[in-house]
Each structure stands twice: as structure tokens, then as C-alpha cells.
Amino acid sequence: MKKEKSVEDVHAYVKQVAEKRGWTLNPNTDGTLDMLVDGLRVYFNRIGYFNCPCRDSFEDMKIDRDICCPCDYAQPDIDEFGRCYCALFFGPKYDFSKPVEMISERRIEPDW
């Protein structure tokens, strides 16, 4: 029987990822961090892995591997825009006085 993840479990996970990668977590001034952590929790408890909470899952690890959090696109997005697509992770020098704006999706959906 698989153990479901709690909000605390997921928060610990994203904090560990940020620390390991030298990133900063969303400061949660508007509840975004809470929403993203809950999205990760819901995906994990439903499909068994941390799928990017801002992208639709195919619920197949082989197809979703590139969007397992932290996704393959997080570092390129942080390098170019200062943050990942979801705004969960930020680069260490991100200027939080600026508004967080949408960035383009890098992922090309599989062509079925």
C-alpha cells in the first residue's frame, strides 16, 4: 500500500530540491507556494509521482518523465527568466520586487 503525501511532506520535498539546486522557493506572498505544493500533493497521491502542477499529466511516467518536478525545463527557465514555469522555484538572484509574469511553455507536447 502506497503512503500518501501530506502538504508537509511535499513542502519538505520542494524545500530540499531548492536547497540542493541553489534555488529559492516562491515566497508565498499571494498563496502561490501553497497552491503549487497542494497541486504536487494531489498529483502524487493520484498518480504516484510529482508531476509539474502547472501541466497536464498523461498519468504515464514514461511520457511525463520530462515534467516530473523539478521538470527538465526548470533550469533553462531559471537561467533565462529567473524562475521556473510554475513560479515554484526561483534563481538565487531573482528580484522579488518585480511582478511575476507569464513565461512561454518550453515543452512540446507529444504528437499523437
- Name the residue with cell 507569464: 102
Task: Please list, in sequence order, all residues whose beta carbon lies within 8 angstroms of the beta carbon of residue 97, skipping any fewer than 6 positions away.
Answer: none
Class of domain 7-90: alpha beta
pLDDT band at residue 108, thresholds of 50, 70 and 90?
Answer: confident
Least confident of 17-21, 33-37, 84-88, 96-100: 96-100
pLDDT band at residue 1, thresholds of 50, 70 and 90?
Answer: low
Task: Please list, in sequence order, all residues whose beta carbon lies within 8 angstroms of the beta carbon of residue 104, skipping any fewer than 6 positions away.
Answer: none
- Please check the confidence at residue 48 and state whether its pLDDT lies above 70: yes
- Please check the confidence at residue 39 and state whether its pLDDT lies above 80: yes
What is the per-residue pLDDT across 50-90, written as a single tens digit (0 to 9) for each? 999 999 899 999 999 999 999 999 999 999 999 999 999 99
H or E segment to which residue 89 belongs: strand 89-90
Predicted local confidence at residue 110, as pLDDT: 64
Task: Please list, in sequence order, all residues whose beta carbon lies within 8 angstroms of the beta carbon of residue 36, skipping any fewer than 6 positions away.
Answer: 14, 26, 53, 54, 86, 87, 88
